[in-house]
A and B are shown apart, each in its own frame.
Chain A
Amino acid sequence: MEKEITGVMVYYYQVCWRKLWYFYHEIQMEQNNDNVQIGKLLDENAYGRDDKHINIDNIINIDFIRTKKVLHEVKKSKKIEAASILQVKYYLYFLMKRGATGISAQIDYPLLKQSVEVSLSDQDVAEIEKILADISKIVKEENPPVLKKLRICKSCAYYDLCYI
């Protein structure tokens, strides 16, 4: 059965295709990772006054929306910012497809006390559509993509699974 593409999958597309493949096939490793646990605590404790985790059709899960028409995504660090931006753009794309236009977005880094604004251009829309098609192709493969050894592997929760 084909699954819907979630925000996390779009994020993983940018980070690592193997991770994307495993995640799609329900091999989750995140529970073993310290960074993920820190992220979880951050998620539980930051922006406590806001109404958080807006789940739409079980496909995207927006961290929170404060003022009208600005959605927020909370991240721990800027290490893989390109992926975060893509993830948020996908949210905007997803909402646009369902008729919610004129929404802007912001990525918040509470630990860094910084925010980054994100908007969706026509060019982005085309890019996201290409990415979604790509993701469908990657996850339908029989096996996960071949391992590419990268520096970021060391801090990945999937490291042991990939390298064993």
Chain B
Amino acid sequence: MKRDYYFYNDGTIRRKDNTITFINSDEESRNLPIENMGNLYVMSEMSLNTSLINLLSQYGIVVHFFNYYSFYTGSFYPREKLVSGNIIVKQVEHYQDNEKRMGIAQALIDAASYNIYRNLRYYNGRGKDVKMEMADIENLRKNIAGTIGIKELMGYEGNIRKIYYSAWDKIIDQDINFTKRVKNPPDNMINTLISFVNTLVYTKVLGEIYQTQLNPTISYLHEPGTRRFSLSLDIAEIFKPLIADRLIFSLLNRNQITEKSFAKNLNYLHLTKEASKTIVSELDAKLQTTIKHRELDKSVSYQYLIRLECYKMIKHLLGEKEYEAFKIWW
């Protein structure tokens, strides 16, 4: 299993022969083996040069950058090695044909909302009364298959999320007063937490897409956008309930993240370095959780489930097997 590295200390990363060295501000250096390196996350002030970038590119290592406020800046996405003209043509075809596009988009939302439902069901079974929210979501889910446009579909998705988020106050034991999801910028600690964790999931998905022939800029649910690898957003949608939301619930309910984890004078906008470190290490632990996969008859990690999602999409695009998005089955 490849390992992701997170840089929280300021310093320099550079190429040293055919591997990588990190040198911190006290001139102490540490060698990082490149052969089993996954993604790199740069959360600090870092100097790097082109010979490093060239080496990373050669090994197909994606680097994600975050700014001082833990907001995602962007990724260094090396030149694609696994290029398939065939797949790109099919990807575009499925975007341009509304019926085909809706097929994929509905599958994504159907699975995402099912996974949301499953989260509620889990907590309902653990003494949090969210029955009403569950019923409402179940009702809204029935409309997904009948939608004819993306806007309409996104409307239902929005309503489902609204109900879902309204249940968070009950699920989370800490007194956080979370009523509404606000982005750009988030306005309270839950929103900051959601934004940060979702972004991490998005980068993990991007890293997995890179290991396949899919082009990350052509997407179905989200508009293929400028600046963003929107296919990542599409696929992240179905994994957010399983990976991001459950992580947030457990971080808060175990008091690993509390009010103290945020820089107060910034209106909860900024996670402390310690909090951010806790989150990434818990996230990585979660991604390494394995489950027995029924179809493959072997154990796979949550992270690998994301890769399998890409494979399923490839088979759908090629017309071999219809895409069924991942739904929590345990």
Contacts and interface: CB of A to CB of B under 8 A. Distances in A.
B213 interface: yes
A32 B208 CA distance: 12
B311 A164 contact: yes
Interface of A: 25-28, 31-32, 142-144, 159-161, 163-164
A164 B98 CA distance: 26
17 contacts: A25-B84, A26-B82, A26-B83, A26-B84, A26-B213, A27-B84, A28-B82, A31-B82, A31-B211, A142-B319, A143-B319, A160-B308, A160-B311, A161-B314, A164-B295, A164-B296, A164-B312
B211 A161 contact: no
Interface residues of B, number: 21
A25 B89 CA distance: 12
B86 interface: yes
A31 B211 CA distance: 9
A163 B293 CA distance: 11
Nearest to B86: A25
Contacts of A164: 295-296, 308, 311-312, 315
B87 interface: yes
B146 interface: no
Given A26-B85, A26-B87, A143 B318 contact: yes
A132 to B, nearest CB: 21
Contacts of B314: 27, 161
B320 interface: yes
B116 to A, nearest CB: 23
A163 B296 contact: yes
A160 B296 contact: yes
B320 A144 contact: yes
Contact of B213 (A27, A144, A160): A27
Nearest to A159: B296
Interface string B260-301: 000000000000000000000000000000000001110000
A106 B211 CA distance: 35
Given A25-B84, A163-B295, 8 more contacts: A25-B318, A26-B82, A26-B213, A27-B87, A143-B319, A160-B307, A160-B308, A161-B315
Interface string B302-330: 00000110011011001110000000000
Interface string B70-105: 000000000001111111000000000000000000
Contact of B86 (A26, A31, A144, A163): A26
A41 B5 CA distance: 25
B300 to A, nearest CB: 9
4 closest Cβ contacts across the A-B interface? A26-B84, A161-B311, A25-B86, A143-B320
A45 B320 CA distance: 39
